[in-house]
Structure 1
């Protein structure tokens, strides 16, 4: 599976698009204040890595600019110019992003009730598991809900039969292969970003992870076990071939905080300012509201199973279509929603997020 050419969020603005199905993490105000106060750049360079598509891609950028503009007012400084790089894989729906960019500056000025510094937007269509920008050109890097996606499916996991990710039935070599791929990818990511950030530049990362040191813990594997059940049920009914399941694995890894910390310390270019874990209860209607879950087109906003199924679909549909074909997609997610509904009515299902704030040494 060529992840670089296949993995992207669903484009457009429909009910299955990423723009309407993302959980967003707000940037911490102290990080951008630290950047501005230590550097006072006349042109602030910001990179949003794994930006995906739609208006949601601008939420964090908007917050950053608001913080800087308020700082400039307090300090009686002239507003800087803003150079914003939107990065994702080449198949990402960049058109949908830049349809929103034309009115971004005007809307933000109206919200701030004052003129802001000029904003310049650029697309950077490539994998972040490699160099993207010239040496020491960025002041702030942000990435949310992207780094749990690996650069490729780990090698040597052919015996992970009946599963599409790590599960409690996966052989030990599968767990080892996934962890080693994460180490390789995350280490490369850190090395590349260290070369691109200026000294004292900041990087704020949020990725799906786990609290437990056990890789097959329910808190990170359960949603994929339920997806595998939907697919395996279709195998039993002859709608999918068994070998198709056995050769499909998600290029994804949910690290523990200690695994994230270890790679940062080994790479050595960053100081850790913050490392914390948070939990999102997928059963709770209020949680989706509070986290600005943009799903106004959902048929039933308080239908937890629907919301989760749509969220997972937004990120995985291109992978499933590439492997199984488009004909089965509606049935897969219909079954998945039914399975989720059954389990969510009886137990709590959560997403665990690992958040880390880093300063370039």
Structure 2
């Protein structure tokens, strides 16, 4: 399985689409709004090159309504800053990036008209030209012209790795019951996941350092953890419950055991210390803020139950599961997963942990 070919959220506007199951992501974006506004204000006051043009990149935009939320907020903030300083509003370029398999058509067909309507309603005749582009490709490579970006935003994307983790030779059997890092995963397996994250995140920072102007900013929110333990329940349990559902299907003969043992989620949920270490070692960006926040699993939908969480996770993981196991198992699998989630959530309040870092490009 090549990650770049199968890592995408469920497209379209159906019941299991990411567009209809991304409420928790929307809430996370709302939680980071003060950090984003602070960063954009700092950029506005320090970068001369934005007098005529302001370029915003949304990395890992996916295909739902969240893809343009931050762009709308940024334009509104710049509009207010320009007016308060008596300056002309710059033209805006909005660059929406995700892997080639992303459903860009849904963004431009279903959500771009809403975006433009919202801006026109807010600003009317004062609205400067705003140009929106789709940019397919991996953000672990070069995407944009040198010194062209003033602001970069990415939310719930950088925990995804560029490739499947290669478990150290001889350790395959030790992690075969897990689809990610689990509570029983050996240290060598955990280190393999972390090392891939470190390589990927360092690469991400390197390429963005060439694309972001001096004084430009990035605000990155990564699904992560507070604990120093990469196998802690706060970051791994959501995948452990899916692994339990897959194991149940193996015991019932619905999935071949070897298929389960060869399936791994290309993800790593970092701690704030790990994010800080990479930023400081790469050296191109200075950290303005580094914070953690939390949001309940129950915030995935209005019912506050396992059904909503299962739908959310299905909208994220289904393309990878279909590629590996085939689509005939999906409904049954997520029925089992929903029951596991409901049982877990009835016993304790589970939360996603977010690591948000605000960065300024060194001059």
- TM-score bucket of the superposed structures, by smaller chain: over 0.9
Deviation at 1:56, TM superposition (A): 1.8
Determine if the alignment matches structure 1 residue 29 to structure 2 residue 37. yes
RMSD: 1.3
- Aligned partner of 2:72 in structure 1 is 62
- Aligned partner of 2:164 in structure 1 is 153
Deviation at 1:105, TM superposition (A): 2.5
- Aligned partner of 2:20 in structure 1 is 20
Distance, in Å, in 1 between the alignment partners of 2:127 and 2:21 is 30
Distance, in Å, in 2 between the alignment partners of 1:105 and 1:55 is 13
Distance, in Å, in 2 between the alignment partners of 1:227 and 1:270 is 37
1:68-217 residue pairs with structure 2 within 5 A? 68-99=78-109, 100-156=111-167, 158-159=172-173, 160-217=175-232
1:269 to 284, 291, 295: 284
Distance, in Å, in 2 between the alignment partners of 1:104 and 1:212 is 38
Distance, in Å, in 2 between the alignment partners of 1:219 and 1:212 is 8
Further displaced range: 309-318 or 82-91: 309-318
- Aligned partner of 1:236 in structure 2 is 251
Tell me, what secondary structure is at the counterpart of 2:93? strand
Deviation at 1:112, TM superposition (A): 3.3
Deviation at 1:103, TM superposition (A): 4.9
Q: Return the TM-score normalized by structure 1.
A: 0.93
- Does the CA contact (< 8 Å) of 2:47 and 2:214 recur in 1? no
Distance, in Å, in 2 between the alignment partners of 1:76 and 1:95 is 38
Superimposed CA distance per residue, residues 283-342 of structure 1 (whole angstroms, 9 cap, x where no aligned partner): 3xxxx3xxxx6x6xxxxx214211211111111110000000000011111110111001
Q: Which is helix-richer, 1 or 2? A: 2
Number of equivalenced pairs? 347
Q: Return the TM-score normalized by structure 2.
A: 0.93
- Aligned partner of 2:351 in structure 1 is 350
Further displaced range: 160-169 or 97-106: 97-106
Deviation at 1:114, TM superposition (A): 4.6
- Does the CA contact (< 8 Å) of 2:224 and 2:235 recur in 1? yes
Distance, in Å, in 2 between the alignment partners of 1:34 and 1:180 is 33
Distance, in Å, in 2 between the alignment partners of 1:161 and 1:55 is 37
Determine if the alignment matches structure 1 residue 332 to structure 2 residue 333. yes
- Aligned partner of 2:265 in structure 1 is 250
Determine if the alignment matches structure 1 residue 320 to structure 2 residue 335. no
